[in-house]
Amino acid sequence: MNILKNYSNPFEINTGSNQITNTTIFTIISLLTLLVTLLVVKTEIIGFIGVIGLCIGIIVLYKIFVNPKLGIYLLIILGFFVTGLARYIPLAWGLLIDGILVIIYLALFFKGFAIKIPWHLAKSPLTLVVSIWMGYIFLQIGNPEAQSKEAWFYAMRGVALYQWMSIPLLFMLFNKQKDLDTFFILWGILSVLGTLKGIQQFQFGVDPFEKRWLDQGGAETHILFGKLRVFSFYSDAGQFGASQGHTGVVFSILAYLKKENFKLKTFFIFIALTTFFGMLISGTRGAIAVPALGGIMFLILKKNIKVLILGGILGLSVYIFFAHTTIGQGNAEIRRMRTAFDPNEASLQVRLANQKKLKGYLATRPIGGGVGATGNWGQRFTPHTFLANTATDSWYVMIWADTGAVGLTYYLIMLFFILGTGAYNVMFKLKDEWLKAQIAALTCGMAGIMMASYGNGVFGQMPTGILMYVGMVFMFIAPKIDESIRKSSIQLQ
């Protein structure tokens, strides 16, 4: 009671000789304000942005430590925006992905002192196969052909690290039907934002920051015959087109199979139509492979002869339209898509010639030339080497050149194992119709991206990467979710 009587001021706590008073708090705030003001005056807008960023970072850090699942949502959101941010503020934004992953693990580690963390949920064949792949990529640091450890560090993140770190977290934190439903809503909204940004570029041109990016080298691949290849806020037009096609496939299947809830069905239709339009204006020919193979995969999963025949007729019609007619040739987007069906197209011949050169180089290098030896990282860190100066174009050719025949073989086995698991669960194990539809959509989307990755390096880039990892996890845990749905249904009865 005496303590309560003496504690009359909430900002003044007596602890012997130490006191925290209003004056002390005012002094601390004044000093912090003065420091911030001096920083902003000294560094102008950069300092102001830095202060705002620091405040946001502290809040985000606190929120993730309180609820680690929020870190998963942040990863998905950052996956869409992180590469485009560099055009506006030239920082290594990609490292944010690394940072968020590490923070989530730290949050789980410290929470482990108070509650039991369900690490056992991460035990899965999927975790095993991606861990073996990560182990192989880690050993690549000792590849005698490798020329740069810095190139290895930057390149291995998209090739293996993000996948390896994300999948266990998803098994533990993002593993319920409600999480899957939320994932689709978030994915759809973010993709439509990407489409809207693409439409702005298509109709009104790029903004000053994007213009600077084009002037600094982006125009070489994004302005062809005076026509802009739309890239939205993605890393490039190839990633934008493939990601939009991926979204279109997934949400078309969801819309087709959604039997109830008219509002949700309408939402899925809107997302599908909008993102297919985004794919069209991207000017990315390889993106058409996503709906092509995604559609074929869907026909296989349906196990319906009538649907298979109708789908085959539709696919054949699309092929004839692009490959054997000149309908719509006056439209630049259709004209560019049509070149994807020309076996004599000049850029295809260049790709085949490069692959022939790589075949000779890699014949005596079964583990490749080292992770990061090709592409942008090769040009940045080892511009004098053969691999850095030989375009790979394809994601799989890059894996082959960097990790050799050994690496490519394992990588393809891993992907087909994951895809096969998703297909098997849809065709033979899942009973709940809506869950089956969702996993079918994810499986078909993955099949489409796998096909498109032969023409472009889309698989390991954001946002496709994080969308793939979430999809993979739900393909594997779908039977458990299905079982819990059936148990809940029985209990309600």
Which of 44-48, 211-215, 221-225, 256-260 shows the lowest per-residue confidence on average (mean pLDDT)?
Answer: 44-48
Q: Band of the pLDDT at 16, cuts 50, 70, 90?
A: very low
Alpha-carbon distance of 255 to 264, in angstroms, equals 8
Please tell me the predicted confidence (pLDDT) of residue 283: 80
* For residues 129-147, average pLDDT: 94
Alpha-carbon distance of 141 to 154, in angstroms, equals 12
* For residues 18-22, average pLDDT: 47
Best CA proximity match to 186, nearest among 348, 70, 90: 70
Whether residue 276 has pLDDT greater than 80: yes
Alpha-carbon distance of 343 to 22, in angstroms, equals 77
| Rounded percentage of the chain residues whose pLDDT exceeds 90 | 48
Whether residue 123 has pLDDT greater than 90: yes
Residue with tokens 């000294």: 42
Q: Are 173 and 181 in contact, with CB atoms under 8 Å apart? A: no
Cis peptide before 463 (omega within 30 of 0): yes
Whether residue 45 has pLDDT greater than 80: no
Q: What angle do CA 458, 460, 463 make, to 5 degrees?
A: 75
* For residues 27-31, average pLDDT: 58
Alpha-carbon distance of 35 to 54, in angstroms, equals 14
* For residues 226-248, average pLDDT: 90
Please tell me the predicted confidence (pLDDT) of residue 128: 97
Please tell me the predicted confidence (pLDDT) of residue 51: 64
Q: Are 432 and 165 in contact, with CB atoms under 8 Å apart? A: no
Best CA proximity match to 411, nearest among 138, 159, 127: 159
Q: Are 441 and 392 in contact, with CB atoms under 8 Å apart? A: no
Q: Are 389 and 383 in contact, with CB atoms under 8 Å apart? A: yes
For strands 227-228 and 223-224, give the pairing: antiparallel
Q: How many of the other CB atoms lie within 10 Å of CB of 431?
A: 12
Q: Which amino acid is at 30?
A: S
Whether residue 44 has pLDDT greater than 80: no
Q: Cα-flanking dihedrals φ and ψ of residue 152, to 5°?
A: -60, -45
Please tell me the predicted confidence (pLDDT) of residue 325: 73
Please tell me the predicted confidence (pLDDT) of residue 20: 42
pLDDT tens per residue across span 351-376: 778 888 888 989 999 999 999 999 88
Q: Which amino acid is at 79?
A: G
Across the chain, mean pLDDT equals 84
Alpha-carbon distance of 198 to 485, in angstroms, equals 39
Please tell me the predicted confidence (pLDDT) of residue 403: 95
Q: Are 372 and 358 in contact, with CB atoms under 8 Å apart? A: no
Alpha-carbon distance of 189 to 134, in angstroms, equals 32
Please tell me the predicted confidence (pLDDT) of residue 155: 92
Alpha-carbon distance of 453 to 23, in angstroms, equals 62
Q: Which amino acid is at 31?
A: L
Alpha-carbon distance of 268 to 181, in angstroms, equals 12
Please tell me the predicted confidence (pLDDT) of residue 450: 93
The DSSP bridge partners found for residue 223 are 228
Query: Across 307-311, 333-337, 427-431, which has the greatest mean pLDDT?
Result: 427-431
Q: What angle do CA 374, 378, 382 make, to 5 degrees?
A: 135
For strands 227-228 and 13-15, give the pairing: unpaired
* For residues 194-199, average pLDDT: 95
pLDDT tens per residue across span 157-166: 999 999 999 9
State the sign of the Cα–Cα–Cα–Cα dihedral 399, 400, 401, 402: positive
Alpha-carbon distance of 67 to 103, in angstroms, equals 11
Q: Whole-angstrom distance between the N-terminal and C-terminal Cα of the chain? A: 55
Residue with tokens 């085949």: 352
Q: Are 464 and 286 in contact, with CB atoms under 8 Å apart? A: no
* For residues 263-286, average pLDDT: 92
Q: Which amino acid is at 244?
A: Q
Which has more pLDDT, 332 or 174? Answer: 174
| Rounded percentage of the chain residues whose pLDDT exceeds 70 | 82
Q: Are 48 and 54 in contact, with CB atoms under 8 Å apart? A: no
Please tell me the predicted confidence (pLDDT) of residue 41: 58
